[in-house]
């Protein structure tokens, strides 16, 4: 596909102040998102992965201006004009919200328990000053698109199952026909037998409505399945960015490799878990000096704990934040290949 950017995130940072005491004095900052730069192209799905506390959800919230970014620009190339979301006015944000919507992780908490399904789905339309009658008609139009019957319109969320709720959540995001959708862990709260339905639905809708996704997840096998490109985050930093193939098969950052090696394979005949990353994710309040991963990295050198590496282009749109990205051989040795092709049982 032609790489036309629809969203450009430049040097995005968000530091949450840590406050203590009676007068809430600021004693430090959690660098939730630290100088993150990436681009999302039209029609693609960009996967954003990392462990808890890596800042992926904060990135999503900054993109929607649900938290105020501290630094950086978020350029959204709309149909007619380009917005900088980071500095958009309230009026511009209303336009932005017609171009970009979000699907939340937990379908149980992201729907107001006191609203009927039709009101939930219509909320973005009403915010855009669409009349109630028109909004109601459009809700009835979109319900079959997400696989729900018209009788769901009058139900309350507590009458719905998790999968049905997530469909409502998807309908709410798509009701204003936004070209860009941020999906924040949309399947991780769902039952196993329902997950594949929702993934299929997201894939279908992307084809039908020509959507672009930013897909945030911690489940690497799902991210691999749905994404064209993948960004890996660790402690607020982007550590690797590339196509799915580059990240999964030719990864250059030790953290990415460790993450891949931790993925459990649903096959009892492949049990060798040759490499398990030691230690814990350090506190984002006080991240290690130099390379944030240096405390857990099996290849860490002296340089790593002193000097913070830059995100460098390795060619072919493959970006890596590691001093030794060129030299490290991550294909074997301590890391056993985990995502090799296997004959899966049927």
Partner 1 sequence: MSVVSEQAQTPLQPGAPRPPAADVDVTSSEQVASRGRILGARIMANRLGIIGIVWLVITVLIALFADFFAPYSVDHVHQEALRAPPQRVHIFRDGKLTRPFVYGYKSERDARTFLTTYTEDPELVYPIHFFVEAEPYKLWGLISSNRRLFGVEEGGMVALFGTGRLGRDVFSRVLTATRISLSVPIIGMLISVILGSTIGVASGYWGGAADILIQRLTEVLMSFPRIPLWMALAATLPPELSSLHRYLGVTIVLALIGWAGLCRQIRGKTLALKESDFIMAGRAAGSSTPTILFRHLIPNCFSHIVVVATLSIPGLILAESSLSFLGIGITPPLVSWGTLLKDAQSVQVLTKHPWLLAPGVFMVLTVLAVNFLGDALRDALDPYSEIR
Partner 2 sequence: MPDSQPILEVHDLHVHFKMLAGIVRAVDGVDFSVERGRCLGIVGESGCGKSVTARSILRLLPSSDTSGQILYHPAGDDEPIDLVSLDAKGDAIRAIRGKDIAMIFQEPMTSLTPVYTIGEQIMESIRQHQDLSEEEAKDLAISMLNKVGIPDAERRFGDFPHQMSGGMRQRVMIAIALCCEPRVLIADEPTTALDVTIQAQILRLIRSLQQNLDMSVIMITHDLAVIAQLADFVVVMYLGQMAEKAPVVELFQDPKHPYTQALLRSIVRPDTPPREQLHSISGSVPDPRNAPSGCRFRNRCPSVHDRCVEDPPVVEFGPQHSATCWLYVDD
Binding site for partner 1 (CB under 8 A): 23-24, 61, 64, 66, 93-94, 97-98, 101-102, 104-106, 109-115, 123-124, 126-128, 152, 155-156, 158-161, 164, 169, 172
Nearest to 214 by CA among 318, 320, 60: 60
Q: Residue 193 binds what, of partner 1, partner 2, none (CB under 5 to 8 Å, by partner type)? A: partner 2
Rounded to a whole number of angstroms, the distance between the first and last alpha carbons of the chain is 34
113 lies in the binding site for partner 2 (CB under 8 A): no
Least gap, CB of 225 to partner 2 (angstroms) = 5
How far apart are the C-alpha atoms of 172 and 241, rounded to whole Å?
30
226 lies in the binding site for partner 2 (CB under 8 A): yes
Least gap, CB of 163 to partner 2 (angstroms) = 4
291 lies in the binding site for partner 2 (CB under 8 A): no
68 lies in the binding site for partner 2 (CB under 8 A): no
DSSP conformation letters of 55-106:
SHHHHHHHHTTSS--SEEEEEEE-SS-EEEGGG--HHHHHHHHHHEEEE-S-
Whichever of 35 and 92 has its CB closer to partner 1, that residue is: 92
Least gap, CB of 183 to partner 1 (angstroms) = 12
163 lies in the binding site for partner 2 (CB under 8 A): yes
Least gap, CB of 188 to partner 1 (angstroms) = 13
Exposure string over 75-93, b if 16+ CB within 10 A, otherwise e: bbbbeeeebebbebeeeee
CA distances from 205 to 103, 151, 264 (A): 13, 22, 29
Q: Residue 23 binds what, of partner 1, partner 2, none (CB under 5 to 8 Å, by partner type)? A: partner 1
80 lies in the binding site for partner 2 (CB under 8 A): no
16 lies in the binding site for partner 2 (CB under 8 A): no
Determine the Cα angle at 237 with ends 70 and 223, to 5°: 115
Whichever of 64 and 199 has its CB closer to partner 2, that residue is: 199
Which residue carries 């039908």 as its tokens?
208
327: its two tokens = 């030299």
Whichever of 59 and 297 has its CB closer to partner 1, that residue is: 59
Least gap, CB of 213 to partner 1 (angstroms) = 15
Instruction: Report whether 136 contacts 121 (CB < 8 A).
Output: no
């Amino acid at each position: 596909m032609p790489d036309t950017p629809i969203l450009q995130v430049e040097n995005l940072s968000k530091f949450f102040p840590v406050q203590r005491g009676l007068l809430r004095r600021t004693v430090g900052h959690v660098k939730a998102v630290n100088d993150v730069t990436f681009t999302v192209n039209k029609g693609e799905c960009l996967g954003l992965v990392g462990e808890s506390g890596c800042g992926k959800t904060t990135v999503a919230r900054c993109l929607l201006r649900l938290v105020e970014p501290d630094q950086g620009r978020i350029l959204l190339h709309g149909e007619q004009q380009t917005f900088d979301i980071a500095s958009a006015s309230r009026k511009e944000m209303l336009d932005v919200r017609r171009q970009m919507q979000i699907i939340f992780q937990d379908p149980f908490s992201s729907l107001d328990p006191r609203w009927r399904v039709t009101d939930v789905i219509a909320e973005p339309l009403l915010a855009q000053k669409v009349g109630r009658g028109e909004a109601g008609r459009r809700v009835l139009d979109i319900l079959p698109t997400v696989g729900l019957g018209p009788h769901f319109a009058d139900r309350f969320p507590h009458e719905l199952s998790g999968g049905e709720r997530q469909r409502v959540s998807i309908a709410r995001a798509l009701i204003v026909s936004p070209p860009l959708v941020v999906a924040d862990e949309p399947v991780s709260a769902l039952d196993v037998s329902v997950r594949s339905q929702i993934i299929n639905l997201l894939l279908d809708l992307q084809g039908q409505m020509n959507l672009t996704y930013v897909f945030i997840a911690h489940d690497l096998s799902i991210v691999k399945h749905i994404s064209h490109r993948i960004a890996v985050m660790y402690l607020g930093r982007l550590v690797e960015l590339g196509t799915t193939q580059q990240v999964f098969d030719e990864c250059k950052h030790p953290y990415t490799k460790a993450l891949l090696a931790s993925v459990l394979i649903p096959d009892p005949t492949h049990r060798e878990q040759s490499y398990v990353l030691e230690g814990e994710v350090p506190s984002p309040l006080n991240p290690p000096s130099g390379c944030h991963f240096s405390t857990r990295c099996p290849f860490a050198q002296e340089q790593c704990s002193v000097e913070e590496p830059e995100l460098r282009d390795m060619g072919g749109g493959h970006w890596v934040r590691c001093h030794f990205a060129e030299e490290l051989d991550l294909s074997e040795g301590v890391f056993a290949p985990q995502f090799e092709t296997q004959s899966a049982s049927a």
